[in-house]
Structure 1
Amino acid sequence: MIRAVLAVLVAVALLATALPPLEAARVQSTHEEFGSIARELTRTAAELESESTAVTDRELAARTTVRFRLPQGFGTAPLDTAAIGCPSVVLDVAQADPQGCNAALVYRIRGDDATVRRFPGADLRAPNGPLRLSDSLVRLRLRYVRVGNASVVELVEPGSIGTET
């Protein structure tokens, strides 16, 4: 009986020492996966810009679709929120979506501060407001358009632009 109690106590002590490093690894893994998503979106937007000409008519704009999944599973930290859009709007800091705000990948790991991942070298915008990301497969349409005097890559959900190709 005493051996069983001692074995349980030792197991609990070992588990207590292993949990903080495990949680830190899960958080680090989640940050790395979001970094990979941001790099993929940046690369795809850069390819679209380099291979196309921006036009004002959104129906005629060059476009492509990106698919990805949010980090999930045992090796990732739980999320409170994840979205692509103007960071101040995603984080509810501002009341309205400022015109011309460059989109960023914004996420918050449960219990932590929000993290903002920019898309360096790419002018991505979310014209219909922030795109909330869920645990299911995420599909985003990127289209290269001319807005005023600027050429930008707009991010929209495929269902919000009519028929899908």
Structure 2
Amino acid sequence: MSKENLNSPFKIIISNGITYREDDPNTPYSGVYNWLTDDGSAVTSVYEDGFHVSQLITDNGLTRSKTLFRKDHSKEITIYDDNGDISIRNQIVDGKLEGMTEIYADGVLLMTAEFKKGRKNGECIVYHADGSIARREYYLNNVKQD
């Protein structure tokens, strides 16, 4: 991805996981930084004390994804469909799914599943369009339990 500025009059650098303004490399950056990806999507990133705390990606005015970054290096990601409805919401820890993942179709909750270290662990529920439960399953280390 390129980091072409939209309305940020400066460049940023990242050193040892901390973000700085290129013109002030000794002070961790706090503020908003906007740029375009190679495919033309607009990215708005928010930083506090050098840490990336959130990112919003839009395409032609439509929100495509929101990411919240935590200091423990985990993140919450929400992906949106072409109508602006939530499609997927999940948590990532060390690059793997962790906690509850929600999957939607046309803004309606379709499935919830619990993950631990990237594997299904716990309850997985599939819903009917009216919100009633179609199926409830339990997993242990990615294996469906009877």
Of Structure 1 and Structure 2, the greater strand share is in 2
| Same fold, TM-score > 0.5, yes or no | no
TM-score (norm 2): 0.23
TM-score by length of 1: 0.21
Q: Which has a greater percent of helix?
A: 1
